Chains A and B, each alone.
Chain A
Amino acid sequence: MTSFSITGWGLAVPEQRVTTTELASRFGVDEEWILSRCGIRERRAVGPGQSTATLAIEAGKRALESAGLTGADIAHLIVATATPEQLSPATSAFVHHGLGIAGSAHDVNAECTGFVYGLIQAAGLIALDPRPILLVGSDTHSLTTAPDDRDLGILVGDGSGAVVLEPTTDSWLMAWNLGADGARTESLKIPAGGSRLPTSEETARQGLHFSQIKGNEIYLHAVRHTVGSVRKTLEMAKLQPDDVDHIVPHQANLRIISSIIEHTGLPRERLVTNLERYGNCASASIPMALTEALDGGRICTGDVVLLAGFGAGMTWGTVLLRWGGGAS
Chain B
Amino acid sequence: MAVPTLQDVTKQLETISGAENIDPDVPILTIDDIDSLDLMEWLYSFQESNPEIPADESLFEEIDETVTLRSIYDRVLATVPS
Residues of A near any B CB (own CB < 8 A):
36-37, 215-217, 219-220, 223-224, 255, 259, 263
Contacts and interface: CB of A to CB of B under 8 A. Distances in A.
Contacts, number: 31
Contact of A216 (B37, B45, B47, B48): B37
Contacts of B43: 220
Interface of B: 35-37, 39-41, 43-45, 47-48, 57, 60
Contacts of A217: 57
A255 B57 contact: no
17 contacts: A36-B35, A37-B37, A216-B36, A216-B37, A216-B57, A216-B60, A217-B57, A219-B37, A219-B40, A219-B41, A220-B40, A220-B43, A220-B57, A223-B44, A255-B37, A255-B41, A263-B44
Interface hub of A217, A219, A224 (most chain B Cβ within 10 A): A219
Contacts of A255: 37, 41
Contacts of B57: 216-217, 220
Contacts of B36: 215-216
A217 B39 CA distance: 11
Contacts of A219: 37, 40-41
Given A216-B57, A216-B60, A217-B57, A259 B41 contact: yes
Contacts of B44: 220, 223-224, 259, 263
A294 B63 CA distance: 45
A255 B35 CA distance: 11
Interface hub of B36, B41, B57, B60 (most chain A Cβ within 10 A): B41
A116 to B, nearest CB: 21
Contacts of B45: 263
A216 B35 CA distance: 10
Contacts of B47: 224
B41 A216 contact: no
Nearest to A259: B41
A321 B34 CA distance: 38
A318 to B, nearest CB: 18
Interface hub of B36, B40, B45, B57 (most chain A Cβ within 10 A): B40
